Structures are given as C-alpha cells and as structure tokens.
Amino acid sequence: AAGVIQSPRHLIKEKRETATLKCYPIPRHDTVYWYQQGPGQDPQFLISFYEKMQSDKGSIPDRFSAQQFSDYHSELNMSSLELGDSALYFCASSNTERGAASAGELFFGEGSRLTVL
C-alpha cells in the first residue's frame, strides 16, 4: 500500500540558509500535518492543512511557512535557518472526511532529517 512520501530524506544547510521539505500524502487523504522532532525530543505539532487550507497551527516559527497544493502535496519552507532547527521533520496524512483525524489515525512518513551547520 502507498505510504506518505517525504523528500529529501536528509538535508544539510548552513545557518541563515533556506530549506524546503516536501510531503506527498497517501492518495485520497485530504489532510496533511507537519511535526518537528528535535534530538531526544517528542514530536511537536507545527501546522496542518485540510483541503489546501490551513486547518490548525502549533508551535511553528514565523520563519517557517507551509502550504498544500492542488494535488494535495505539501511543502514546508524554512528560512533564516538556525542551529536549533536541526531536527527530524515528519509529515503525516489522514482522511478527515472519514473521521479518521478525530480518531487520531495519522499515517506518518519516514521523516526528513535537517542538519543546520
């Protein structure tokens, strides 16, 4: 079965540079979520989109932005990178219309590991 695809899997950037992470949800899933997991930390919710509109916002820095496109894929844009942005970034998807989101059944990708030097 198709899973959530994230790219790139690994990314190395310098401070103050910009990075873009991509997420391709499971087909027919209408909601995408972004989570950030710092070293040794639990995943923290950043932002989510439902039907291409922002549906919820968590602890996402102002330097970060995200959007969901017409084909439902999503991109997380990170600018003015700081050392503290080094983390594993997870994308997850769900089919909200089926009520799966309220049941917490999110399907996670394998993550994109960002290292800021």
Inter-CA distances, 93 with 18, 49, 99, Å: 25, 9, 13
CB-CB neighbours of 49 under 10 Å: 23
**Which of 4, 23, 87, 114 forms a contact with another protein (CB under 8 A)?**
4
> Cβ 76 to another protein, closest distance in Å?
16
Residue with tokens 């919820």: 56
Rounded Cα gap, residues 37 and 70, in angstroms:
27
Closer to another protein at the Cβ: 81 or 106? 106
106 near another protein, judged by CB under 8 A: yes
109 near another protein, judged by CB under 8 A: yes
89 near another protein, judged by CB under 8 A: no
DSSP state of 85: G
Q: Which residues contact 71 (CB under 8 A, 6 or more apart)?
A: none
Per rule CB under 8 A, count of chain residues that contact another protein: 30
Q: Kindly identify the residues of this chain, within the stretch 12-71, that bind another protein according to CB under 8 A.
A: 31, 33, 41-45, 48, 50, 55-56, 58
Helix (H, G, I), strand (E, B) or coil at 7: strand
Binding site for another protein (CB under 8 A): 4, 31, 33, 41-45, 48, 50, 55-56, 58, 90, 92, 94, 96, 99-111
